[in-house]
Amino acid sequence: MAPATLYIIATPIGNLEDITYRAVRILGEVDLIAAEDTRHSLKLLSHFGISKPLTSYFDHNQQIKGERILNALRQGKSVALISDAGTPCISDPGYQLVRDAVAENIPVVPVPGACAAVAALSASGLPTDSFTFAGFPPSRQGKRRTFLIGMNALPGTLVLYEAPHRLIDTLSDIREVLGERQVIVARELTKMFEECIRGTVSEVITAVSHVVVRGEVVLLVAPGEVVPLECEPLAEVLSRLMADGNLSIKDIAKQAAAVSGISRSEAYAEALRLKNEHN
């Protein structure tokens, strides 16, 4: 066990047999375990007979707790970071702690294992040579659609996390924005009710509309033909935004670029030209 080292340890996403020998050994040897939810992790640790000082590290205490964990590392202690399930830092807390440790030249060692995104992708039958993991889509429809527009031209398979109660809304937006692609809903992986629902977006919407989808879900979207987005012509967008009268040229350019599909600098130059023309 190396002193003054931060270990990023993956834990199971359901099936406890998915923990690695190395993870169990290191968790049993470190001086301190930082866990997203200490009560949750206590169950896992006691299952493997591990009893170590435990501290919480989650989204809302990461600043203060991060500093305490770094102090322990500076004093030469070894620390393991775990999350509730899967790989820390992957849609889970940890990134800031790792970044700060790296900045101080504190060794950071990954102890790999389960990750829902990779597990789902590996069994998906969709292309795996290139993929984009984009975490949870925004929960509000407008932002979610903008987010999906950004995914339209990406090559490879798109891998998302989604809450079961938002699944149909997100699938409907995928159909709307990305078109009728092949999708997979990989649910409850490694657990008793594990299932993969495969089909076109419409087929999967129909399948999940008849049942209450419960548990945890990874949503995979096959790469598609790039759907030409219906962009509002630049001139129209600019005159609409300028008519508003409250926006700076910079903000106008930013918004115009987002909806018309051209670069911000081009939109800025055109906005400036129109403004001067009207003055």
Binding residues for ligand SAM, rule: CB under 6 A, are: 13-14, 83, 85-87, 90-92, 115-117, 161-162, 186-191, 216-218
We find the least distance from the C-beta atom of residue 200 to ligand SAM, in angstroms, to be: 21
Closer by beta carbon to ligand SAM, 40 or else 191: 191
We find the least distance from the C-beta atom of residue 89 to ligand SAM, in angstroms, to be: 7
Residues in the chain, overall count: 279
Closer by beta carbon to ligand SAM, 6 or else 257: 6
We find the least distance from the C-beta atom of residue 39 to ligand SAM, in angstroms, to be: 17
Q: Which of 27, 33, 158, 6 is nearest to 96 (CA)?
A: 6
We find the least distance from the C-beta atom of residue 238 to ligand SAM, in angstroms, to be: 40
Closer by beta carbon to ligand SAM, 111 or else 257: 111
Q: Is 35 helix (H, G, I), strand (E, B) or coil?
A: strand
Number of H helices and E strands in the chain, helices first, is 11, 10
Residues with Cβ < 8 Å from 78, sequence gap 6 or more?
A: 1, 2, 3, 4, 5, 6, 7, 29, 30, 31, 32
We find the least distance from the C-beta atom of residue 247 to ligand SAM, in angstroms, to be: 36
Tokens 């493997």, located at residue: 48
Closer by beta carbon to ligand SAM, 159 or else 177: 159
Closer by beta carbon to ligand SAM, 23 or else 253: 23
Q: Which of 34, 24, 26, 33 is nearest to 1 (CA)?
A: 26
We find the least distance from the C-beta atom of residue 87 to ligand SAM, in angstroms, to be: 4
Structure tokens at 92: 């889970």
Closer by beta carbon to ligand SAM, 162 or else 270: 162
Nearest 5 degrees, angle CA 163-CA 169-CA 172? 130
Closer by beta carbon to ligand SAM, 15 or else 75: 15
Q: Which residue is nearest to ligand SAM (CB)?
A: 86
Q: Are 34 and 65 in contact (CB under 8 A)?
A: yes
We find the least distance from the C-beta atom of residue 93 to ligand SAM, in angstroms, to be: 9
Q: Which burial class, exposed, middle or buried, applies to 1 when counting CB atoms under 10 A from its CB (0-12, 13-18, 19+)? A: exposed
